Structure 1
Amino acid sequence: MEEMIQRTLHKIQDHSAIKEVKQVSGGDINRSFYVETINHQYFMKGNEQVPSHFFRAEAQGLQLIKDTNTIKVPSVYHYDEPENGEEAMIAMDWINPGRKDVSELLGQNLAQMHQQTAQKYGYGSPTFVGTLDQPNAWTSSWVDYYRTYRLKKQMDYAKSLNRMPKIRQERLEKLLDRLEEWVPAHPEASLLHGDLWGGNWRTGEDDEPYLIDPSVLYGDHAFEIAFTELFGGFPNRFYEQYKEQFPLSDHYEDIKSLYQLFYLLVHLNMFGESYGSSVDSILKRYVG
């Protein structure tokens, strides 16, 4: 990996001496490194046996968020597009941590980002949610996008892993048939981070919140907020400031679990049956 880091520095034309390289925590998907040269501090992630668009999707998502001028993200300096299982790496800014509580500012800035909208729902290229490939398309109806490209894709993947027993599949198919009863067809098509759990934002030393590891799409902003509530990590001040900037629908509590269902299916497919009971509980609530 040291040779890969040297190659990456050469590609971004940082020819200054390396002061320090150390492996850091960065999830269970990639090998992650702090790299400091005379010129700059970088965060680099490396992987192999990944699709050619693996790091491109992340880099494009970060740039899309950055272009809104609403919330900060690390700048990306280079990403590889590997072929035939080659090693690949992405290099971006290292975010030196701050100590201030910026959850209120995170709520304000995220609400402003969510007010950047598109004419259609979805996204124009595939992304990833965790390690799973996420197909996308531009769709004129949010409920159609959510049914076809989110819930059904995860159901099909669960079937291939033998994690979709008969009763679970029957309930989920019934839910898909009735999804219009709860999920709106034409909410505002907000720019969403797409994988916003507590580990995918940071406080920088400039006392600003930063988003990392996006899986961007355009859709109902309630979809994003529902996921922030699924595993915790966001204080009440975040929600208070967010809702002041961009109120949620009166029907939010009715659809929150349906939006969380997607992420629970993702976790079922990535980590196994320990998430099955949570999936089943939501299905029973809506379709019996």
Structure 2
Amino acid sequence: MVSKLLVDIDHATRLVRRWYEPSRRVLAVRQLNGGMINHVWAWQLDGEPGWLVGKLNVLDHHDAFEREFAALRWYREHSTFPVPEVHTCFADEEEGVSGLLMQRMAGRNLGEAQLGQRGIASLQGQLATHIASLHTHTAERFGPVVMDDAKRSRWLDVFGPTLEREFHAVGEHLSSKTRDVIHKLLGELEAWLPEQARPTLVHGDLWATNILVNDAHPDRPTLTAFVDPAGLYADPEYELAYLRLFHTAGDVFFRTYTQTHPLRPGFDRRCRIYWLNTMLLHLRLFGDQYASSCDGLARQIRQLA
């Protein structure tokens, strides 16, 4: 969960002057909604650009920020996927924080956007177009885009250990029946997730909070940017399952997306495996309220086996 971290105008000004531009001053600070791990602030500056985003946490998070910094730069250099320009990654021992300073993108997150029914349909079509374009980027190996030593020739060699780690991290919080199902599943992943896709560039954490929307016209919104990309070559079903889990993508999205990227037979069945991984992660990060979701998915997987 987000740790307690307070940033006032003086604190923000010191960070901006030390890590962005020595002559700038912060005039106002506004905390942005949606961050589940880090604190995200919009800082109004004197001069141009008039705003800067600071994404902050304690010093121990610096390694994660370095990976995000590299991934954001990679997307901007190698794709047209709209992500913020990131200015600097820092670890400030004097202030006791680490973080990123980046461009403020127009709009607000999809979870806060005020959209009419036509606007929702339009936004779903725009989302599908962006993700379909992103998924045209492929590579020879699976894994992080900026860590060659972590790339693998098989998707299961990336996803399998991830699922196993999440399970072992929270196993004591699960029922014995759920543990039995997951133990069996881990031994049968080859059958559940056959290798059928090329390594495909994905966002990796697509839900409403990570999608920015200009909703000035509720029936004619514009998708302006994506934030917090994972920087990953994966099986594209990993991304599509995540979009379905939190109802970020619906029928309009899939009708548009599948015009260029047809779904493989059995996608609905395989979604349960990816959803289980996500719920195990949420159980680890956010607490026991996610244990029942893990139990429910384990029951579904047992019935589908």
The two structures share one fold, judged by TM-score above 0.5? yes
Q: Which residue of 1 aligns with 2:3?
A: none
Contact 1:62 1:73 in 2 (8 A): yes
Distance 1:20 1:271, change over 3 A: closer
Contact 2:55 2:100 in 1 (8 A): yes
Give the gaps of 5 or more residues in structure 1: 127-135
Answering whether residue 288 of structure 2 is matched by residue 281 of structure 1, we say no
Q: Which of 237, 241, 244 is 2:259 aligned to? A: 244
The 5-angstrom pairing of residues 108-119 of structure 1 reads 108-119=129-140
Contact 2:90 2:98 in 1 (8 A): yes
Distance 1:88 1:187, change over 3 A: same
Q: Which residue of 1 aligns with 2:168?
A: 156
Contact 1:8 1:91 in 2 (8 A): no
Q: Which residue of 2 aligns with 1:261?
A: 276
Q: CA deviation at 1:17?
A: 4.2
Count of equivalent residues? 276
Q: Which residue of 2 aligns with 1:131?
A: none
> Normalising to structure 2: TM-score of the pair?
0.80
Distance 1:82 1:12, change over 3 A: closer
Give the gaps of 5 or more residues in structure 2: 1-6, 109-114
Contact 1:78 1:91 in 2 (8 A): yes
Q: Which residue of 1 aligns with 2:143?
A: 122
Tell me the alpha carbon deviations over residues 161-209 of structure 1, each in whole angstroms, 9 at most, x when there is no partner: x313433222111001111112022411111111111211112589343
> Normalising to structure 1: TM-score of the pair?
0.85
Q: Which residue of 1 aligns with 2:100?
A: 90
Distance 1:30 1:278, change over 3 A: closer
Q: Which of 8, 12, 15 is 1:8 aligned to? A: 15
Q: Which residue of 2 aligns with 1:32?
A: 40
CA RMSD in angstroms, aligned pairs only:
2.7
Contact 2:26 2:44 in 1 (8 A): yes
SS at match of 2:61: coil
Q: CA deviation at 1:57?
A: 1.8
Alignment-mate amino acid for residue 243 of structure 2: T
Q: Which of 127, 132, 139 is 1:106 aligned to? A: 127
Q: Percent same amino acid at aligned positions?
A: 24
Q: Which residue of 2 aligns with 1:234?
A: 249
Distance 1:22 1:158, change over 3 A: same
Q: Larger deviation: 98-107 or 168-177?
A: 98-107
Q: CA deviation at 1:139?
A: 1.7
Equivalent-residue separation in structure 1 for 2:93 and 2:61 (angstroms):
8
Alignment-mate amino acid for residue 184 of structure 1: P
Contact 2:204 2:230 in 1 (8 A): yes
Equivalent-residue separation in structure 2 for 1:14 and 1:116 (angstroms):
39
Q: Larger deviation: 244-253 or 199-208?
A: 199-208
SS at match of 1:71: coil
Q: CA deviation at 1:151?
A: 0.7
Distance 1:250 1:83, change over 3 A: farther
Q: CA deviation at 1:63?
A: 2.1
Contact 2:84 2:103 in 1 (8 A): yes
Equivalent-residue separation in structure 2 for 1:198 and 1:92 (angstroms):
20
Tell me the alpha carbon deviations over residues 103-156 of structure 1, each in whole angstroms, 9 at most, x when there is no partner: 312211111111211211122778xxxxxxxxx9322211232211x2101011
Q: Larger deviation: 75-84 or 52-61?
A: 75-84
Equivalent-residue separation in structure 1 for 2:95 and 2:176 (angstroms):
36
Q: Which residue of 1 aligns with 2:178?
A: 168
Q: Larger deviation: 223-232 or 26-35?
A: 26-35
Contact 1:192 1:217 in 2 (8 A): yes
Equivalent-residue separation in structure 2 for 1:106 and 1:68 (angstroms):
19
Q: Which residue of 1 aligns with 2:151?
A: 138
Distance 1:29 1:285, change over 3 A: closer
Contact 2:10 2:26 in 1 (8 A): no
Q: CA deviation at 1:246?
A: 1.7
